Amino acid sequence: MAEPLSAVDVIRAKRDRERLSDQQIDWVVDAYTRGVVADEQMAALAMAILLNGMDRAETARWTRAMIDSGDRLDLSAVERPLVDKHSTGGVGDKITLPLAPLVATCGAAVPQLSGRGLGHTGGTLDKLESIPGWRAQLSTSEIIAQLRDVGAVICATTEGLAPADRKLYALRDVTGTVESVPLIASSIMSKKLAEGADALVLDVKAGSGAFMKTVERARELADALVGIGAEHGLRTTAVLTDMSTPLGRAVGNAVEVAESVEVLRGGGPADVVELTVTLAREMLALVGLSDVDPAEVLASGRAYETWCRMIAAQGGDPDAGLPVAAHTHVVEAEADGVLRSLDAYAVGVAAWRLGAGRSRKEDPVQHAAGVLCLAKPGDKVERGQPLLELRAGSADAVPAALAALVGAWTIGDGPLPATPLILDTLH
């Protein structure tokens, strides 16, 4: 049977800045998933979309076509309100780890299907795989059972969800078309809508350590994400947050798990606590649980009990020791004064080079590798005081990490003006 449309015609339409019809979008996404549209043709279309954009309705339809390329997760058997969260990624961004059990403790269910890290941003699954015995792959029936019993699950995306996105994501990565806002937004939302939650909160980051380097670009992406949610009837909120400085003090895998446990036990860095509670409030509000105070629940340590049950349900031992790096290297302050800046991107690259991240999806990570930020912007420091602790499997990884940190911080005089972590909230 002949194909009803032509890939070349769809490419030409977007090249010439025309609006793609619903029929064109449905056909080209389906045909690409089936292998009828070749990679070079989809690459050309992706570049045309990058250069000429898509309007809100086109983006929503593109998202629907990607969802329709695979299965939808049916979570109707879960007897709690379902709310999900997605972060656009940053340095030291371990928020999913304390957030999922916290929101579950407050009465909702959190189906957190997560990914692995690539480059300078860490992946949630890589962090959790630091825990002995913990497994990322769960069946749909295991996901549902855990949501009913524990209220939270963090696991790998099931194979059947949005296969078009998986194929297109890999193509965008090698064709210079990753930065297209409609394609980023539809990639994120196709997976989230296929997961079957009732509501979604997005943490859209801006700054050197984020994918979107400016607040303006982050806001553009947040608007697109919220717009897709609205078009598909999904209650959606986007929170714009600062990612110019690493989040918390730990950057890596095992070190971020340890810091998350501190937060769940009622302690931890103030910025990690602030963002965890802020996102929890937004998630609970979307599913009608605003009467519960997540700050009080987190401070009480009750969410830690849920964490232990969540980890154990996936084969992990919450009481087991985490991997410890064989080699550490301390970076000291070169002057007295106030630490005025600490560049998130540089710290993320340093952690990556120490072994905490990967260059290709198939690369392994070293769970014990990473960076501890012993001082944060606003702290007074003295010459010779430890600023950073680098952790690696061997001393051989340290020089490349140190090279990434050249110019990564500034030390000066006088107090540092307060800069907000939460930049804006979009509904």
CA distances from 92 to 139, 244, 257, 345, 376 (A): 29, 11, 10, 10, 13
pLDDT over 90 at 416, yes or no? no
Question: Which of 114-128, 178-192, 278-292, 407-421 bottoms out in mean pLDDT, i.e. has the lowest?
Answer: 114-128
Write the DSSP assignment of 166-227 as a string of letters.
HHHHHHHHTTT-TT-HHHHHHHHHHHHHHTT-SEEEEEEEESTTSSB-SHHHHHHHHHHHHH
Please compute the mean of the pLDDT values over residues 319-329 and round it to a whole number: 97
Q: What is the DSSP letter of 97?
A: H
Please compute the mean of the pLDDT values over residues 227-238 and round it to a whole number: 96
Residue 358 and residue 341 in contact, taking contact as beta carbons nearer than 8 Å: no
Q: pLDDT tens digits for 115-138?
A: 887 667 779 999 999 999 999 999
pLDDT over 90 at 362, yes or no? no
Strand partners, 114: 156
Q: Round to the nearest angstrom and report the end-to-end CA distance of the chain.
A: 45
Residue 373: is it exposed, middle or buried by C-beta count within 10 angstroms (0-12/13-18/19+)? Answer: buried
CA distances from 55 to 11, 21, 39, 268, 420 (A): 16, 11, 24, 42, 32
pLDDT bracket for residue 364 (50, 70, 90): confident
Token couple for 232? 């598909």
327-412: CATH topology is: Aldehyde Oxidoreductase; domain 3 (3.90.1170)
pLDDT over 60 at 393, yes or no? yes
Handedness of CA 168, 176, 115, 208 (dihedral sign): negative
Distance CA 264, CA 262 (A): 5
- Cβ neighbors of 231 (< 8 A, separation 6 or more) are 56, 57, 60, 63
Question: Which of 154-158, 340-344, 413-417 bottoms out in mean pLDDT, i.e. has the lowest?
Answer: 413-417
What is the CATH architecture of 83-158+170-313? 3-Layer(aba) Sandwich (3.40)
Distance CA 146, CA 312 (A): 11
pLDDT bracket for residue 158 (50, 70, 90): confident
CA distances from 175 to 30, 58, 154, 221, 296 (A): 20, 22, 31, 20, 47
What pLDDT shows up at residue 1?
Answer: 52
Strand partners, 338: 380, 412
Domain ranges of the chain: 7-53, 83-158+170-313, 327-412
Tell me if residue 387 falls in helix, strand or coil.
Answer: strand
> How many CB atoms are closer than 10 A to CB 77?
10
CATH fourth-level superfamily of 7-53: Transferase, Pyrimidine Nucleoside Phosphorylase; Chain C (1.20.970.10)
What pLDDT shows up at residue 117?
Answer: 77
Residue 241: is it exposed, middle or buried by C-beta count within 10 angstroms (0-12/13-18/19+)? Answer: buried
What pLDDT shows up at residue 133?
Answer: 98
Contacts 24+ apart (CB under 8 A), 399-403: 400/353, 401/350, 401/351, 401/353, 401/354, 401/371, 402/329, 402/331, 402/350
Please compute the mean of the pLDDT values over residues 157-184 and round it to a whole number: 91
Distance CA 94, CA 288 (A): 26
> Closest by alpha carbon to 409, among 368, 357, 350?
350
Token couple for 250? 């730990």
Distance CA 301, CA 304 (A): 5
- Which residues does the annotation mark as catalytic? 86, 165, 172, 187, 191
Distance CA 275, CA 405 (A): 26
What pLDDT shows up at residue 4?
Answer: 79
Output the average pLDDT for the chain. 95
Distance CA 237, CA 247 (A): 21
The structure's pTM equals 0.96
pLDDT over 70 at 2, yes or no? no
Residue 181 and residue 221 in contact, taking contact as beta carbons nearer than 8 Å: yes
Q: pLDDT tens digits for 78-98?
A: 999 999 999 999 999 999 999
Beta-sheet strand order (sheet of 422-426): 83-87, 199-206, 235-242, 422-426
pLDDT bracket for residue 363 (50, 70, 90): confident
